[in-house]
Amino acid sequence: MKSNGVTLTVTSATRDQGGFITLNGQVTNGTSARWLGLDWASDEQELRKNGGSLAGASLVDEAGKKKYLVLRDTEGRCLCTKFQGGVPQGDTTEWFAQFPAPPQGTTSVQLQVPTMPPAQLDITEGE
């Protein structure tokens, strides 16, 4: 996924035994300045305080007609990477995000991140 000089790569989408899906990947800043990730922040009041992060991401199960938002802890912090201090120009950094898992028979979901085109992901089974 690429938009405005920023590239988001997903390296894995794994269904874990705990009833959630963990996404892992990399984000590369191809812009001419430090990228803060503020465009990816959540519009939800509880998640807004996460700032530049993957808090605004969601998974869509088109077949099941459901949307899954990033998981959060009891204090409203997303279970996802927060880009504290941003990503310097030309750098690449690792990221993760956790979501509730769709039903067991669902093997593909669509990742939606603000400002990025949607991406279809195949879910692998964790151990």
Nearest of 99, 84, 75, 73 to residue 38 by alpha carbon:
84
Nearest of 121, 11, 111, 10 to residue 68 by alpha carbon:
111
Q: Are 98 and 22 in contact (CB under 8 A)?
A: yes
For residues 17 and 84, give the distance between their C-alpha atoms in angstroms, rounded to a whole number.
Answer: 29
Cα 26 from chain centroid (whole Å): 10
Could you tell me the two tokens for 113? 């991140």
Could you tell me the two tokens for 80? 């996802």
pLDDT at residue number 127: 63
Q: What is the pTM of this model?
A: 0.88
Q: What is the pLDDT of residues 31-57, one digit of tens each?
A: 999 998 888 877 776 766 777 888 889
pLDDT at residue number 41: 79
Domain boundaries 2-125, corresponding CATH code: 2.60.40
Whether the predicted pLDDT of 95 surpasses 70: yes
For residues 127 and 110, give the distance between their C-alpha atoms in angstroms, rounded to a whole number.
Answer: 23
Whether the predicted pLDDT of 126 surpasses 70: yes
pLDDT at residue number 104: 87
pLDDT at residue number 18: 85
Q: What is the mean pLDDT of residues 52-73?
A: 91
| φ/ψ of residue 95, rounded to 5 | -145, 165
- The rounded mean pLDDT for the chain is 89
| Local structure of residue 65 (DSSP, 8 states) | T
**Residue 3 — pLDDT band, cuts 50, 70, 90?**
confident
For residues 28 and 87, give the distance between their C-alpha atoms in angstroms, rounded to a whole number.
Answer: 8
